[in-house]
Amino acid sequence: MKSDRIRHMTIKLPRLSSATADRLLQSSVAAPRSRWSVLKASGSTVRDYLQGQVTQDMGKLTSECGIHACLLTPQGKAVSELYIIQGRDEELILLVPSAKAEITVGRLRQFALGHTLRIGIVDTLAICSIQGANAPELLHKFELTEPGNGWLACSRSESDDTFALVMPKSPRGFWVISSKEKIDVALSNHVMLDETEFEAMRVIRGFPDFGTEWDESIHPLNANLIEFDGVSFNKGCYVGQEVTARMNWRGGIKKKLYRVSISGQPDTIPCPVQTTAKIGELKSAAIDHEGNCFGIALLPVDVGESESVALSLENGASVEVLEACHA
């Protein structure tokens, strides 16, 4: 009986406040992104090695543009999600979910036979996110120029290991990778928000994260890796490539992550999405500054692309598919 009471308790969803929404439109807001860790990888053959390990083509990586990728097992299951940007000389900066940082380092070291690879977690570097109409102005405090408009465009400070990485959706925003001390100094006179509000913004915009909306139980193509430009189908072989290619070319992508709106609020997260039977799952939800509920749901593609299928939660709240999650 106790477990039933817990299961049906109302959950507290992340919420975007009206004050933060106003600041996004008029100035800017900032928050740490402690769910992500910074890794450094270097070595004379580090690019060649990663070319055979990650899903995206390392040839797309330049000093002005990072890449999004996944690290897979031979069976095609995700080990971790990665953002890779060019550091100094042969050095690369890898951003990975903190919960998968040690696993990622171990996995890449394990298969580096014949390569000179130095890789490890850099505890002295941290990530903060700045968002809003005037977010580009904050970059100057980090000695950074504003990156271009492309997905994962980036810029680098000439004086130290400080980087800016464009994050998608409007209003324009950036991830800044720098020392914790430099972040504290640069943003000392700026209001730092609780990360919960930035999580709300992420969900409202329909931007899924590995470890939250999807994990190793979901193939990355079902988690919209194509829509987030995280995979190449002509780069050649990499670990997990056979399964990934087969899913793509043989029509194996039966489910995707979709941005949805919800007429009420879910009682639990995750929770089933249903027609007359359960057909999908709401993975996350958040409340915007006007009290509207948005979420990210894993749904069959034929349902997500249909305008005639009525969806709901078990508590009766209706679910409307807005779009497939994308960069």
Tell me what the pLDDT averaged over the chain comes to: 94
What pLDDT shows up at residue 6?
34
* pTM for this predicted structure: 0.94
What pLDDT shows up at residue 168?
67
Q: How much is the average pLDDT of 123-151?
A: 94
Nearest to 198 by CA among 322, 28, 70: 28
**pLDDT for residue 149 is more than 50:** yes
What pLDDT shows up at residue 140?
93
Q: How much is the average pLDDT of 23-34?
A: 94
Q: How much is the average pLDDT of 110-133?
A: 95
**What tokens appear for 99 in the block?**
């919960």
What is the C-alpha to C-alpha distance for residues 39 and 57, in angstroms, rounded to an integer? 19
CA 67 distance to own-chain centroid: 12
Using the structure block, give the residue that is written with the tokens 């004050």: 19
pLDDT band at residue 11, thresholds of 50, 70 and 90?
confident
Size of the chain in residues: 327
For residue range 59-101, list pLDDT tens digits in order: 999 999 999 999 999 999 999 999 999 998 889 999 999 999 9
For residue range 166-218, list pLDDT tens digits in order: 986 656 799 999 999 999 999 999 989 999 999 999 999 999 999 999 999 99
Domains of the chain: 1-26+194-218+254-327 (3.30.1360.120)
Q: How much is the average pLDDT of 244-251?
A: 95
